[in-house]
Amino acid sequence: MKNLTSIRPNTSRPARLAALKQSFQDWNNTSDVMARLARRLSTTLSLEAQLSILAEEMTDMVPFDSLNYRHRIARQDFIFSTGMGGPHRCEYRLSLEGHQYGTLTLHRRQRFSEEELTGIEMMLSGAICHIRNACQFIAIEQTALTDSLTGIGNKRALDEALQRASAMADRHGAPWSLILCDLDHFKLINDNHGHVVGDHILARTAEKLEQALRNSDTVYRFGGEEFAILLPHTNEQEARDVADRIRGAIESIRVDGGETPLTVTASCGVAMHLTDEQPEQWLARADEALYRAKAAGRNCTRVFASIS
């Protein structure tokens, strides 16, 4: 590969451009595995795509049966896996400048030789900067979708999740339900005890919601004291049972309020997704059910029935 810095500054502009063109062609067409790996990895910030590229390039040098990668990014687990494992493995904790960027494990039926392990380490050294950038990109994206107080998804994340859930419900015909949950008389807590106490209750509420749900369910802070819960493969009655369970979990919260501990109750509205229904329509029906719960005296659950 030509070194651009070696081009004499007093050469003509056409000569410099020609040398640049040749250098680019040499770089683009090189058979050097490390240069090719770096070039391919630089084309994407998708961590999944980068790991696929790494697996493709690595298997040409060191055959393996499976590659597994795991990393926790912005409170979420990222897992990538390809192939089927064997009894022998080598594992690497990827780090750069004191920061961890996940664990990568290779499996195969035969033991890895020392030369192969050295080759793997060299390829990982060439990939780590790109993997770091992809991890940081995910973290930035997640920050934009995360409520800073509670650490759960925010309104933007809910909007995107409703779009995906609506599409999946229509495509597969599986039931999806939405719960809107609002803390009752929350303004009085802020007025009487201050926003620090109020914020603490909101954070505790988010914790209780996540603890009361399945791993497949997702929780969002929809408004000031309003939360949304998306439930895949859940019909109306099942969603109502979940809503009643989370209301009980919220009611168990105890916060120091001076002479007596502060408690809070919640009202819930439930709506199951209808065929070909737009996300905003689905959300509006859940909101209407929540309004009915509050009109009924609060601390209860109401369902917007899909069949009148």
- For the chain, the average pLDDT equals 91
Whether residue 6 is predicted with pLDDT greater than 80 in this model: the reply is no
Strand-pair partners of 77 = 72
Q: Residue 18's pLDDT band (boundaries 50, 70, 90)?
A: confident
Please provide residue 46's backbone torsions phi and psi, each rounded to the nearest 5 degrees. -75, 120
How far apart are the C-alpha atoms of 67 and 72, rounded to whole Å? 17
Q: How far is CA 71 from the centre of its chain?
A: 11
Whether residue 303 is predicted with pLDDT greater than 60 in this model: the reply is yes
- Catalytic residue (one of 57, 116, 210, 225): 225
How far apart are the C-alpha atoms of 168 and 178, rounded to whole Å? 14
Q: Which residue has the higher pLDDT, 99 or 16?
A: 99
225 labelled catalytic:
yes
| Contact in structure between 270 and 236 (CB atoms under 8 Å) | yes
Q: Residue 7's pLDDT band (boundaries 50, 70, 90)?
A: very low
3-state secondary structure of 271: strand
Over residues 88-109, the mean pLDDT reads 96
In the chain, % of residues over pLDDT 70: 95
Over residues 64-70, the mean pLDDT reads 96
Read off the pTM: 0.73
Question: What local confidence, expressed as pLDDT, does residue 260 receive?
Answer: 80
Q: What is the pLDDT of residues 210-233, one digit of tens each?
A: 999 998 999 999 889 999 999 999
Q: Which of 188, 183, 155 is nearest to 249 (CA)?
A: 183
Question: What local confidence, expressed as pLDDT, does residue 17 receive?
Answer: 83
Q: What is the pLDDT of residues 160-214, one digit of tens each?
A: 999 999 999 999 889 999 999 999 999 999 998 999 999 999 999 999 999 999 9
Residues with Cβ within 8 Å of 294's Cβ and at least 6 positions away in sequence, in order, are 182, 184, 267
Whether residue 157 is predicted with pLDDT greater than 60 in this model: the reply is yes
Over residues 76-81, the mean pLDDT reads 92
Whether residue 245 is predicted with pLDDT greater than 50 in this model: the reply is yes
In the chain, % of residues over pLDDT 90: 78
The order of strands in the sheet holding 226-232 is 218-221, 226-232, 176-183, 266-272, 301-304
All domains of the chain, ordered by start, with CATH? 31-144 (3.30.450.40), 155-304 (3.30.70.270)
Question: What local confidence, expressed as pLDDT, does residue 307 receive?
Answer: 60
Please provide residue 154's backbone torsions phi and psi, each rounded to the nearest 5 degrees. -100, -170
Q: What are the angstrom distances between the C-alpha of 76 and each of 83, 101, 127, 216, 287?
A: 23, 13, 22, 13, 28
Over residues 19-26, the mean pLDDT reads 79
Q: Which residue has the higher pLDDT, 141 or 131?
A: 131
Rounded (to 5) percent helix, strand, coil in the chain:
50, 20, 30
How far apart are the C-alpha atoms of 179 and 203, rounded to whole Å? 18
Question: What local confidence, expressed as pLDDT, does residue 8 receive?
Answer: 52
Q: Which residue has the higher pLDDT, 23 or 67?
A: 67
| Contact in structure between 239 and 301 (CB atoms under 8 Å) | no
